[in-house]
Amino acid sequence: MKMKFLITLVGLSIFQCVLGNAIPNSEGAEYGDKVQGDLVVTNEQFNEMYNPSMRSGRTGLLSTNYRWPKNSAGQVEVPYTFRSSSGFTTSQQNVIISGMQEIEKYTCVRFIKRTNQVDYVEIISDSGCWSYLGRRGGQQTLSLQRNVNGYGCVWKGTAIHEFIHALGYTHMQNHIDRDKYVKVYLENVSSSQRHNFEKVTSSSHGNFNTEYDIESIMHYGSTAFSSNGKYVMLPYDSSKLSVMGQRERLSSGDIARIKNMYQC
C-alpha cells in the first residue's frame, strides 16, 4: 500500500483530564487531538469521511484496501508487537492482550505476535489513546499511554476500542443517523472541539447490516469533550444513558459489525 499523508488536527485547544490527552477509565472516551479524538487517518480517508458532496455516512470502511488479510483457515490475522522503549510491564501487556482476546472470543479476528510480517501494529505508549483507521500497510502504531495514578489508556476496554479502530471502524456517535437517537449539546463543547461531533457523510462507510448502537464500545460518553462539565450527548431513550460510552465489553452490534465487515 502506498504511503499516504496523514491528517491530524493541530493548533487545537484540547480538553484535558489530569494528564494531557490521557483520560480516566470511567470517562469511557479517548479525548485527544486526532480526528474524532483518537483517529489517525490518511488524506483520502479524511476526504471520504467529511466531504459534504458525499452521502450515506456510516461507521465502517467499505474499501477492502484497509482490511487485514485472512489466513488459510479463514481467520483474520493482525500481527502485533510491543515497542520495547515504551516500557510496558508484563502486567500492562497482559491487560492489553486481554482486550485482543475479547475480540477474538466473539469474532474471527486473531491477533498474533509478529515474526516477519510486513503489515503489523506496533503498540506504543505515546501521549493519549489513538490508532490508525484500518490497515495502513507496513508498520502502524497504536498508542495506549501507560497509566499513572489510575489515569491513562491501559485498560481492557480502551484496548478493545482502539483495536476496533485498527480493524476499520470509526465512532458510533459520528454516524449519519445519530440525531435520531442522541441529542447533542454543542453549546457545552468549546468551538475548537466541535469537529469531534461532525457526522461522517461518506459513501465509503457502511453499517454492515446493523443499527445505530448506543451500547457500542465505539460510542463516546455523555460528557465527552465537555468544556463546562455539562452533558454533551443524551440518548432519547433515557434507560441507555448508563451504558452510553461504556468500555466494559463488546456490544452485540460491535460483534456483528466486525463479523459482517470481514465476512466470517
Q: What is the 3-state secondary structure (H, E, C) of 62-124?
A: CCHHHCCCECCCCCEEEEEEECHHHCCCHHHHHHHHHHHHHHHHHCCEEEEECCCCCCEEEEE
Q: Report the catalytic residues.
A: 162
In a domain, 21, yes or no: no
In a domain, 128, yes or no: yes
pLDDT above 90 for 118: yes
Confidence of residue 14 (pLDDT cuts 50, 70, 90): very low
Confidence of residue 65 (pLDDT cuts 50, 70, 90): confident
In a domain, 74, yes or no: yes
Query: How is residue 134 written as a grid cell?
Result: 484500518
Residues in contact with 255: Cβ distance below 8 Å, sequence separation at least 6, in sequence order: 106, 107
Question: Is there a binding annotation on residue 161?
Answer: yes
In a domain, 9, yes or no: no
CATH of the domain at 257: 3.40.390.10
Question: Is there a binding annotation on residue 195?
Answer: no
In a domain, 30, yes or no: no
Query: Coil, helix or strand for 22?
Result: strand
In a domain, 104, yes or no: yes
| Mean pLDDT over the full length of the chain | 81
Count of structural domains within the chain: 1
In a domain, 33, yes or no: no
**By residue range, what is the domain housing residue 211?**
39-262
Confidence of residue 63 (pLDDT cuts 50, 70, 90): confident
What per-residue confidence (pLDDT) applies to 55? Answer: 36
Question: Is there a binding annotation on residue 175?
Answer: no
pTM more than 0.95: no
210-247 residue pLDDT tens:
889 999 999 999 999 999 999 999 999 999 999 999 99
In a domain, 75, yes or no: yes
Confidence of residue 205 (pLDDT cuts 50, 70, 90): low
